[in-house]
Homo-oligomer: A and B are copies of this chain.
Amino acid sequence: MDTSNNKVITFYDIILDPTAYPISPNPWKTRYALNFAKVPYRTTWVPLAAVAETRNALQLPANRKHADGSDFPTLPIIRDPLAATTSGSEVVVGDSFDIALHLQNTYLSNNPPSSSSNDPSSAAAGQQQQQQGQLFPADGSGTVALHRAFNAFVDQIFSQYGAPLAGFYMPLDPRTAESDKAAFVRRIPGVTRWEDLEIPKGSEVRSKMLAEFESALDTKLGPCFPSPAPADGAKGGPQGTGPFMDGRQLPIYADFIVGGWLQFMRGCLPEWEDMRNKWSGGKWGRLLDALEPWADVDGREGVVPARR
């Protein structure tokens, strides 16, 4: 959907180590969704210490709250000049779920965006995208609410186990590591020192937490995704033959929600190889692989994942 005036969406992601593949889970959900919607965009890479002022500059309030009720300003944000409002200004959306809804409603639903409804090439592109799938499959009033709860559920599971097990091992730029660590500690109420975030490798507490994480994923999310042996599908599991939720051939936004967190685990979790290949019979690695067609990273040319 390249428009005549070359307008593109601006997508704000967090940058830590510029030599490392991106890892932030919520921006990853948005990257997948942008690629899926086939909209033109450019990524603006924001240092962790500059996230709050970036939101302020765009007059966006903090989109999340810490457990103690204090503001938790984070990314992603998109600025979309293609979906101009009636007043002519660009649309600014500052939450990953709202961004997915915006992309669905503007670029994927049957209605092409009103600002370009007279553009035949845009309408044709819209029809093509329609055939290519939907972030929120529509039936009657759609699956938005089910997705909203799914997003909260997945965030809860990964925040409870994945973030504390993996966050300490984020790839940081040695030149800015101290300020990144300080910015990260400020994001977590009750924590004052970076060192307090470590759950030492090989420790008993870490082994126990890893086992709980594996079990929570397997029992709570595992049944939503296809098993390797097709025969399993006959026993109440997903019935389709595709690699995505419910055995679909194309992902929906729910697949990208899990995929965003898997990108974070791949980038940070020391035990990633086990999680990828052994947990739930290799289900999580297969899902990440199946999402690869929508995983293009803009603006970090030549930076590849440190591991698959």
Main secondary structure of the interface of A (DSSP, over half): helix
Say yes or no: is A142 at the interface (Cβ < 8 Å to chain B).
yes
CB distance from A232 to the nearest CB of B (A): 14
Say yes or no: is A22 at the interface (Cβ < 8 Å to chain B).
no
Evaluate contact between A145 and B245: CB separation under 8 angstroms. yes
Please give me the residue from chain B that is nearest to A240 by CB atom.
Answer: B141
Say yes or no: is A196 at the interface (Cβ < 8 Å to chain B).
no
Say yes or no: is A278 at the interface (Cβ < 8 Å to chain B).
no
- Partner among B140, B149, B238, B245 whose Cβ is within 8 Å of the Cβ of A220: B149
Evaluate contact between B141 and A150: CB separation under 8 angstroms. no
Contact A254/B137 with A98-B236, A101-B236, A152-B153 known, Cβ cut-off 8 Å = no
Say yes or no: is A247 at the interface (Cβ < 8 Å to chain B).
yes
Cα–Cα distance between A212 and B276 once the two chains are bound (Å):
35
Say yes or no: is A224 at the interface (Cβ < 8 Å to chain B).
yes
Say yes or no: is A306 at the interface (Cβ < 8 Å to chain B).
no
What residues of chain A have their CB less than 8 Å away from a CB belonging to chain B? 98, 101, 137-150, 152-154, 156, 219-221, 223-225, 236, 238-240, 242, 245-248, 250, 254
Contact A146/B150 with A98-B236, A101-B236 known, Cβ cut-off 8 Å = yes
- Best-surrounded residue of A140, A220, A242 (most CB of chain B within 10 A): A140
Cα–Cα distance between A91 and B58 once the two chains are bound (Å):
59
Sample 14 A-B pairs with CB under 8 A, ordered by A number: A98-B236, A101-B236, A140-B248, A141-B238, A141-B239, A143-B143, A143-B246, A145-B224, A145-B245, A146-B146, A146-B254, A148-B223, A148-B224, A149-B149
CB distance from A97 to the nearest CB of B (A): 8
Evaluate contact between B141 and A139: CB separation under 8 angstroms. no
Enumerate the 5 nearest inter-chain pairs by beta-carbon distance, A residue then B residue, closest first: A145-B224, A141-B246, A139-B139, A137-B139, A153-B153
